[in-house]
């Protein structure tokens, strides 16, 4: 139905700004009130938060000791 406000649709739209702490106080409180009452949305919010952690962990690859050595060798030699 056109013009009908669906809080779950709205919550999906503000998921990222919510987690990024970009929402205004009022918007944040509105989202929070909905999340406290809605299992469907709160599950998806928790998933998003875990996903971000997971992406971070998965995407991190440490540099090789070789490279570290090469970078040190780029330093200006002390006279």
Partner 1 sequence: MTESPDTEGRQIAIEARDRVRFEEEALELADQVYRVARRLVRTQEEAEDLVQETYARAFRSWRSYTPGTNLRAWLLRILTNLNIDRGRRAQRTPDMEPIEEGDYYLYNRLEETTRENPDEERVIERLSQDDIVSALSEVPHDFRDVIVLVDIGDFSYQEAAQILDIPIGTVMSRLHRGRRILKQQLAETAVGEG
Contacts with partner 1 by CB under 8 A lie at: 12-13, 15-17, 22, 43-44, 46-48, 50-52, 54-64, 67-68, 70-72, 74-76, 78-79
CB 20 → partner 1: shortest distance, Å? 8
CB 43 → partner 1: shortest distance, Å? 6
**Beta strand segments in 1-79, E:** none
Tell me the backbone φ, ψ of residue 78, rounded to 5 degrees: -80, 135
CB 70 → partner 1: shortest distance, Å? 6
* Cβ-Cβ contacts under 8 Å for 79 (sequence gap 6 or more): none
Q: Which two tokens stand for residue 12?
A: 């999906």
Nearer to partner 1, 1 or 58 (CB): 58
Contact (Cβ atoms closer than 8 angstroms) between residue 49 and residue 19: yes
Nearer to partner 1, 26 or 53 (CB): 53
């Amino acid at each position: 139905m056109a013009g009908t406000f669906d809080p779950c649709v709205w919550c999906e739209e503000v998921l990222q700004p919510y987690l990024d702490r970009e929402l205004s106080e009022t918007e944040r409180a509105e989202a929070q009130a909905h999340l406290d009452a809605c299992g469907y949305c709160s599950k998806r919010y928790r998933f998003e938060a875990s996903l971000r952690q997971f992406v971070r962990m998965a995407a991190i690859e440490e540099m090789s000791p070789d490279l570290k050595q090469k970078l040190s060798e780029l330093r200006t030699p002390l006279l």
